[in-house]
Structure 1
Amino acid sequence: MKEISVSELKQWKEEGKKFQLIDVREPFEYEMSNIEGENIPLAGVVIEAEKIAKDIPVVMQCRSGARSANACMQLENNFGYNNLYNLKGGILAWAAEFDSDMQVY
């Protein structure tokens, strides 16, 4: 599984790189704090796989990186995705490095 750091993700955003960001946390978590990804909770990733791009890089993100890693594995194993990146450290790493005011739990 490929991984991306929060620094690399920030660089992609700043450069205007075309990619899709999927937040696999639950809606209440997403509402508390997010980094502007599309919210598809882990339980719905396989069901809603058609919403996840295959032709551009896709960054999967959660609180710490565990659920998003699970989502990557499910999509790679069941649908043959090869363009997925797991965000190392998830939103906790983003908050620690770039947004100390972000509400995390």
Structure 2
Amino acid sequence: MLSLAQNSALMKYITPLEYKERQNNNDAVLLDIREPYELDICTIGGLHIPMAEVASRASEIDQSKEVIVLCRSGKRAESVANLLVTDLEFPNVSIFEGGILAWIDQVDSSLEAY
């Protein structure tokens, strides 16, 4: 079995600009795993399931689409992507590179960074 670091190296990443281009295509699910208080600060939409609840609520995620995992900076997203691929056998998972902070920096500076 691969370690988290090894498996993360094999994961796919999507940049904020790549996501912006695809945002309205309806070919992916943006899975926001941040805590509710973080969503109160800023959000870019998507399906919200806090990190601690992903395993128990995985049936809510459409596996027929690419699942793009979003957190604040990308670290929690790596852990959840690993869980989805390794333990829950999701076929198509990407990590939102740099998280919401990268989105704010590269796409929408009107959102509040935290």
TM-score bin, normalised by smaller chain: over 0.9
> Are 2:99 and 1:96 equivalent residues in the alignment?
no
**Could you tell me which amino acid in structure 2 is paired with residue 97 of structure 1?**
Q
Q: TM-score, normalised by structure 2?
A: 0.86
Unaligned runs of 5+ in 1: none
**Could you tell me which amino acid in structure 1 is paired with residue 43 of structure 2?**
N
Runs of 4 or more, structure 1, over 4 Å off, are: none
55, 58, 61: which one aligns with 2:70: 61
Q: TM-score, normalised by structure 1?
A: 0.93
Rounded to whole Å, the distance in 2 between the matches of 1:20 and 1:101 is: 23
Residue 101 (structure 1) shift: 1.8
Rounded to whole Å, the distance in 2 between the matches of 1:17 and 1:28 is: 26
1:47-58 mapped onto 2 (5 Å cutoff): 47-58=56-67
Rounded to whole Å, the distance in 2 between the matches of 1:11 and 1:101 is: 18
> Are 2:30 and 1:21 equivalent residues in the alignment?
yes
**Could you tell me which amino acid in structure 1 is paired with residue 71 of structure 2?**
C
9, 29, 35: which one aligns with 2:19: 9
**Could you tell me which amino acid in structure 2 is paired with residue 32 of structure 1?**
I
Question: CA-to-partner distance for each residue in 1:13-68, whole Å, 9 max, x for gaps?
Answer: 15x24211110000010121011111101000101010112111111100000111
Residue 98 (structure 1) shift: 1.3
Rounded to whole Å, the distance in 2 between the matches of 1:65 and 1:25 is: 11
Q: RMSD in angstroms over aligned alpha carbons?
A: 1.0
